[in-house]
Amino acid sequence: MTSNCSFEAVDHLMRYLELVIYVPIFLFGLILNVVALLVFCLFLRKWTESTIYMTSLALMDLLLLFPLPFKMHATNHLWPANLQPLCSVLESLYFVGIYGSIYTIMCIAVDRWVAICHPFKAKQLRSPAAALGACVGVWVLVLSVISPTIHRFREGGPTDFHCFHMFSEKGWSPPVIVCLQVFGFLVPVVVVVYCSVKTIWTLKKSGQHSPQSQACVKIIYSSLSAFLVPFTPSHLGILLQFLVSDTAIRHK
């Protein structure tokens, strides 16, 4: 009984925090990403590695933002059973957006690291075609993994339900959560932090104090913060929910 209450308390806390976080994310994210896409598609005549990555990231972010109003509504409202197919689509878009964004940011960090830390190899490794291939690879990876996983671990039934909160006990099993945390977050975090630190260190070691170098360092710090600030709390929340859920399941 205590374990069930603990899980419900944690789940309620996560829903409240989501509402507080999602409203500004949706408003600012929608405006910024739409403007970014318009700039990339209408005003930039040359497609470079950076613009390809940023366009893909903006599309991923929009996939993440689109389901947010539905997710906020589902937090405190039951949906009728006939909306389960719509819920599956929204959940898939949401998680594709999250992990697509994470892996795209990782690709951007690696691309920047190669360009600055290995300038001679960059001539062979970096190209618009390589950037496009990396982005397509990320899209294929997340689409092929997320959608079947969502379908497999959702609980369905003839009754009303809370969309985004209907994952079965199998969905909270240790192997699933470990894979999610390791491959969905920890591996990209290690890569992004390593590449960012090495890139900043290389720029400062070179002794270049030009405005361009200083601006590049600021961009890297901003990118690192934009990666860690939204994704770290959400994955810590998933870990907390798993620990409480696992305790509740064991006491059944």
Q: What is the mean pLDDT of the chain?
A: 85
The CATH number of the domain covering residues in 2-250: 1.20.1070.10
The whole-number average pLDDT for the span 117-131 is 93
Around Cβ 128, how many Cβ atoms within 10 Å?
14
Q: Are the C-beta atoms of 29 and 61 separated by less than 8 Å?
A: yes
| Tens-digit pLDDT profile for residues 223-252 | 899 899 889 888 888 888 788 765 544 555
The model carries a pTM of 0.86
pLDDT greater than 80 at residue 20: no
Domain residues of the chain, as ranges? 2-250
Of the candidates 198, 163, 158, which has an alpha carbon nearest to the alpha carbon of residue 73? Answer: 163
Question: Which residues are registered as beta bridge partners of 161?
Answer: 79
Residue 26 CA: distances (Å) to CA of 62, 125, 134: 9, 36, 27
Would you give the DSSP letter of residue 207? T
Strand-pairing partners, residue 240, are none
Q: Quick one: tokens of 72? A: 């906020």
For residue range 81-122, what is the model confidence (pLDDT) as tens digits? 889 889 989 999 999 999 999 999 999 999 999 999 999 999
Q: Which two tokens stand for residue 88?
A: 């599956």
Quick one: pLDDT band at residue 151, thresholds 50, 70, 90?
confident
d(CA 2, CA 21): 28
Confidence label for 7 from pLDDT (cuts 50, 70 and 90): low
Q: Which pLDDT does position 4 carry in this prediction?
A: 54
Q: How many CA atoms lie within 13 A of 69 on its CB side?
A: 5
